[in-house]
Structure 1
């Protein structure tokens, strides 16, 4: 066990769009997965030795056969994975809502390779696996949200080798009466079965509730002081806390990971969040009656007591700079849906990322030529160096702030009216505007930049050897979930498009930089 290096840790432990966390421990090592929705590869997986500092080690779903996102609508795709370890194997079970099918994959090592999907005859969403000490294995999930059965939590016994059910599907708990009982996890603790779920919807009324029983199928007794975690109706910089998973440490202490959001501070508009649902951490205490409570009487703060955590000196691993010198992308990058063959390469022009645009645009719910990384800080700055020589009308490549196909901003090089131009455009719902365009007769290697604070994005470009030119701005609130909808968060993306036809010219990105501090004073 490591000696604690700090008495405090900072929430969130995974900032940016990392919702629906699930965690398991293998010896002194912790592993965590989160939802990924319509982004590919799917289900990022992280490793930690202290629950506070996490390093991404891969994705669970890295092929089209594991994760088919063709035609997937924004904010559908992969919902609420659960990660478990049993007898030398890791299991990740989840729902692909692009077709609404539940499945699991398994691996001997968390880095992969992960198996092909084992498809399940199991309706609903948010499936979870529980390996009981008597050898039985249970699948637990929710149902009734489509009106086809009673709303609540269901369970059955399952064969983990084949995925076939060994018992009937049984209703086990309706929750406490709040809307959307979901995200169930079953545990056996102190000789009893504990059923942890999320309720209230994954918005400002989100919460965690728990029940227990002497038997896996119940009847379940609800905690008399549910919810055990919620920030509903309180003034806190952290809101919408819920969808938790519990983990026991080697010393017998318990902790919970869960999702939450950080709305922009009131002075910057307040009550909108654009970074997405993030992963938080809190200690779990047990009452004399054997009930758990998360945090301080069900609440958490941005700075928390590390208590007995073996906090290590390993820094949080952000993608700060990418020179595109490797033959594979850093794990921080994602595609929108499955990338089209030939739409990107790191080897055609070694030392550069090549994107080859198609007819698909950022306005389409389709596989545009795009790689993006999450915005993880309210205040940050990103930049990239782009070489692009378009010759066909409408060809375009650049840098975008992207929430979904109806809400995004971009600064780019485009071929318009027979000339190469720098453009700045905003898309907000059914409204879009080409805010600014100027002829660009400079050499290759234009630098495109975005500087963010909690209220605005400032877009600029730099010609080689020249000073930076401010070029436009857009409100962060217009890309928030409260305005744009959905379950994801903002991405900074590199993209290329022919705006209706295939590009004749590749877009070559020499480097990308992410600075987790804004260059502007706030």
Structure 2
């Protein structure tokens, strides 16, 4: 109970809302998603479906302690951050908390959404859980600790290691090491030239000490100018130290490489098959492609089998995907002393044989495949899956009496402060997301409704607003930094509704198109013109995140 109260404290006890501000009340949030591949490829008995965590679950780091598995993902400038998932079978994952659940742990300030927390690493040693990561533009590299992975997690302990993507390795002799991506020892020879470094770390002070050594300079084939060696992990196996790193950047040329050494601090030799995971060597026009695979982490089962979690993407056309980078799972096989995730030119399978682990009983909603769920906002605590943009510094949200209430404030979604917005990860390219809302705007410019957002520069909002002395439903679009921070009106319809009466608002992703609808009378939907969904893609908007969708409220300036 103490952990739950701490994890929810940021959602209930910060500041106070202005008494005069309009408040939007939401009775429920309903999500239903199903992509064509969900029905085209069905897992059989003893199989599981990839991805295991759909939609905006990048940079997975996985850990086993006894019979329990834990996993963490990057969250960049969203709060709460660094979701912690638990599983007993590596397939069914349930969120048990967020490592960042207090506003004063990190200060995201006015960061853009794709800055903040990159590539966390989860590890365990002698009764303590460790989480290493980088807060880009907000502090640098850090290590946090906890006695329970569900939390509470400590404040970050900062260090002065240059670069990103730190991870910890605990050797059998009791020594502990920190490794990460950094600038090469000599001036970079080309754009994206990086190095992997290692150094001892003191587990009492969580500070590195001693010499800092280069393990990899560039990548597997230096003459080919490999880019962005990053996300390193070390594993000990059969008398060898294995170093696995991502390479090629996180777009379509992404890959995973493997090296080994007899000494933890090198020298390391690349394996005979490299990369050990990529999809860049497959035809671009294949059906239902999975692309951009890399950033892998290994874990073993009690019987000694090896598995890898990694990120990849599922475009709906070309290189367009709106749901971000997702978490996939595949076995690791060993050949002549070297691990391999997939042979060259092998597509990542959508279904695969399950790990040799007892199947976990369903205890929460699915995280992959076709599924639906509904949040009726029962109790006093929000689900840990809700996200807000940057840290909260005032109480503009509350959950009580079976409703979610958002105070409308003059902070637009496209601004550099924190808007009144709560989002859930979009986990399908095809679906329907609906809210029932009550809102009474007090003046022109007050708006509340539902938003789907890829970044502060690219989003749609469907809202109820005051217009010409009456009420209207407005559809707004922001498609670049030059557009107004609140978006531009692309459709508007007057509605006969009393202020504060219920209205249903719906967003309907459909691949490259996206629909919007409203209902003053439940079930009687009025559709607005469909819009271009590709503006919500990473290819258009840039960055490293996936779209989120949820309720918002904005007040006139």
Q: What is the TM-score when the length of structure 2 is the normalising length?
A: 0.85
Note the 1:458-497 alignment, pairs <5 A.
458-465=515-522, 467-497=524-554
Task: Please state if 1:413 is matched with 2:461.
Answer: no
Q: Is the 8 A contact 1:369 1:497 kept in 2?
A: yes
Counterpart position of 2:301: 249
Question: CA offset at residue 180 of structure 1?
Answer: 0.4
Superposed, which structure 2 residues align to 1:425-444 within 5 Å?
425-429=476-480, 430-431=482-483, 433-443=488-498, 444=501
Match of 1:514 in 2: none
- Tell me which residue corresponds to 2:58: 19
> In 1, Cα distance between the equivalents of 2:397 and 2:474?
23
Question: Aligned-pair distance for 1:296?
Answer: 4.8
**CA deviation digits over 1:277-336, x for unaligned, max 9?**
000000000002x00000355652111222534333426545711111221111211011
TM-score if structure 1 supplies the norm length?
0.90
Alpha-carbon shift at residue 48 of structure 1 (Å) = 0.5
Give the one of 225, 248, 260 matched to 2:312.
260
Instruction: Indicate yes or no: 2:215 matched with 1:172.
Output: yes
- Measured on the aligned residues, the alpha-carbon RMSD in Å equals 2.0
1:159 aligns with 2:212: no
> Would the aligned equivalents of 1:129 and 1:139 in 2 still touch at CA under 8 Å?
yes
> Residue in 2 aligned with 1:326?
379
Give the Cα separation in 2 of the matches to 1:475 and 1:447: 22
Q: Tell me which of 82, 85, 92 is aligned to 1:43.
A: 82
Give the equivalent residue in structure 1 for 2:416: 365
Structure 2: tracts of 5 or more residues without a match? 1-42
CA contact (8 A) 1:339 1:369 kept: no
Contact 2:194 2:227 in 1 (8 A): no
CA drift of 1:217 comes to: 1.0
Give the drift of 1:71: 1.1
Specify which structure has the bigger relative contact order, considering alpha-carbon pairs within 8 angstroms and separated by 6 or more residues: 2
Matched residue, 1:382: 433
Distance in 2 between the 1:433 and 1:195 partners? 49
Which residue of structure 1 lines up, in the alignment, with residue 38 of structure 2? none
Secondary structure (helix, strand or coil) at the match of 1:478 reads: helix
Ranges in structure 1 where 5+ consecutive residues have no aligned partner: 502-522
1:355 maps onto 2:402 in alignment? no
Alignment of 1:109 onto 2:145: no
Which residue is 2:321 aligned to? 273
Return the match for 1:339 from 367, 383, 392: 392
- Structure 1 CA distance for aligned equivalents of residues 124 and 523 of structure 2: 55
Assess, with a 3 A threshold, how the Cα gap between structure 1 residues 199 and 67 changes in structure 2: closer, same or farther: same
Work out the CA distance in 2 between the residues paired with 1:422 and 1:299: 45
- Answering whether residue 262 of structure 2 is matched by residue 219 of structure 1, we say no
CA contact 1:74–1:365 (8 Å) conserved in 2? no
Instruction: Answer yes or no: is the 8 Å Cα contact 2:55–2:546 preserved in 1.
Output: yes
Deviation of the 1:147 alpha carbon: 8.9
Does the residue aligned with 1:482 lie in a helix, a strand or coil? Answer: helix
Q: Could you list the per-position Cα deviations for residues 447-497 of structure 1 after superposition, in whole angstroms to 9, with x for gaps in the alignment?
A: 001122222221000003561111232222221011110100111121111
Correspondence for 2:103: 64
2:211 partner SS: coil
Which of the residues 497, 508, 525 maps onto 1:451? 508
Partner SS state of residue 376, structure 1: coil
Paired position in structure 2 for 1:210 = 258
